[in-house]
Structure 1
Amino acid sequence: MKNITELVPQFKPVSIADDSNKQQQKEQVAEIVNKLFKQLKAACPAMFHTLNNNDESSIKRQWIIGFIENGINPAMINAGMRIARQQSNPFMPSVGQFIGWCEKGLVEEYGLPTAESLTKAVIEFGKYKGFDDFCDYDYGSDANYWLINDLHRIMQDENLGIEKLQLRAEKMIAEMAKKIMKGYVIPTPNKALPKKIEERPLSNEMQLSKLEEIKRRFGFSYAKAAS
């Protein structure tokens, strides 16, 4: 079975803010949805059993709107179809559920963490941070490095609980997957600590000079004289 990218190779996302292109985009997405529904019927045989033509047309319109609003493209739909074929439930997913499958499929395809595993990693990271060997913390991947550090900072800034932390994790992972799909290259983090500058030990004269400077700065000399 051909995937959506092969079925609609000429699809090119356009800005929905451009009125002259709105109709063109709607037609393109409508073609994708029509072909997608044929694949969904094969993957979920019972999904259209109770629908008539009017119901199906109405549902398709909602899917078209949902795809346009969420920037869903053929590559993401292919990822969603891979998840759809894994489902044991033969009934039709909602457009929101299928969009969730698209995002989950991309996450799996690019080897990104799940929201649950990222949340756990951030909590563990918070316990580890501050130790002397902190720079040796094993993030697992470059993607995890940026996700964990960014999410940990957000957790502290906004004082997020576990539930909200996991919701934010889901959003961040989906956003990174979409960026990677568009060509974003995850930068390699520089986790090495700066090299320590070697200093020669101070002479006795220099040590005494430093000590006198500290005394003058904090008023020790004055206190001694006053006594």
Structure 2
Amino acid sequence: MRNLTSIIANRDGGALASMAGANPEPVSIVNENAEKLVDALFQNLKQVFPAAVSTVFRNPADEAAAKRQWIAAFAENGIRTREQLSAGMQHARASESAFWPSPGQFIAWCKQGVIKANGLPDLDELYRMVMKYSRDRGYHSSAEAYPWESPACFWMVTALYNQMRSQNLTEADLRKRCGTELKNMSRRIETGEAIPAPVVQIPKLHIPVTNEKGLDKIAEIRAKLGLKKRGAL
């Protein structure tokens, strides 16, 4: 399974189209290594979902067709690393369903697992973080002073809060934005980017005033001290 990354990454569009069934004539997987690796993945999944052996894949032709679809789905959705596949298998083992997952479901498991592995909240947790920040932010001097769980949470939650306020997002819209933020942040972490920590801004000790107000203030002080205005006789 470790070499699945290179096999998927090196597969050209024509081969993927054939494997996905775009060619009306029967085709086979040209790369024998790809076939063996997908066989291994399916064997692992069969141990988790044993009922599929006598139902979904009772006909060998159906299993062969399914394998072609899975390889194409991996390539189309960016499933290219060992960590992603391991995360997908971890979710599969924890699944309460006895039914064989679709390629889309397994891909979702892969992506969710990577998000967790990167120390990020899931979609529901991130949504609750935004709601909590919206409720409690007034108790803190600034967004940077808020007790964040991680730098990534600071950047995601504050961005989502600003979008929610400025665009008057509904709950459904905000949840969609949460999913987008998680994907973007996970991608940044996977590429090795260091997410900067929030830095509390030093409060301003004075408020600048205009020249006119400054002169008025000077005149007020001079009047209190009994001093004449400049130029007065």
**TM-score if structure 1 supplies the norm length?**
0.73
Pick from 205, 212, 218 the counterpart of residue 208 of structure 1.
Answer: 218
Partner of 1:11: 6
AA of the residue aligned to 2:156: L
AA of the residue aligned to 1:60: K
What secondary structure does 1:85 align onto? helix
**Deviation string, structure 1 residues 133-167 (Cα, Å, up to 9, x no partner):** 23421121111011101222222343221122112
Pick from 152, 159, 169 the counterpart of residue 161 of structure 2.
Answer: 152
Say if 2:67 is the partner of 1:72.
Answer: no
Match runs of 1:43-62 below 5 Å: 43-50=48-55, 51=57, 52-62=59-69
Quick one: distance in 1 between partners of 2:116 and 2:139?
32
Q: Name the Cα RMSD after superposition.
A: 3.2
My pick for the range that moved more, 38-47 or 130-139, is 130-139
C-alpha change, 1:40 and 1:211, in structure 2 (3 Å) is farther
Quick one: distance in 1 between partners of 2:167 and 2:104?
27
AA of the residue aligned to 1:63: W
* Aligned length in residues: 198
Say if 2:191 is the partner of 1:182.
Answer: yes
Quick one: distance in 1 between partners of 2:52 and 2:184?
30
C-alpha change, 1:104 and 1:133, in structure 2 (3 Å) is same
Partner of 2:90: 82
Query: Do 2:86 and 2:110's aligned partners in 1 also have CA atoms closer than 8 Å?
Result: yes
Query: Do 2:51 and 2:98's aligned partners in 1 also have CA atoms closer than 8 Å?
Result: yes
**TM-aligned CA deviation for residue 106 of structure 1:** 1.1
Match runs of 1:112-191 below 5 Å: 112-129=120-137, 133-134=141-142, 135-190=144-199
AA of the residue aligned to 1:89: S
Query: Do 1:30 and 1:64's aligned partners in 2 also have CA atoms closer than 8 Å?
Result: no
C-alpha change, 1:108 and 1:10, in structure 2 (3 Å) is closer
- Equivalent pairs: percent with the same residue? 30
Quick one: distance in 2 between partners of 1:150 and 1:29?
41
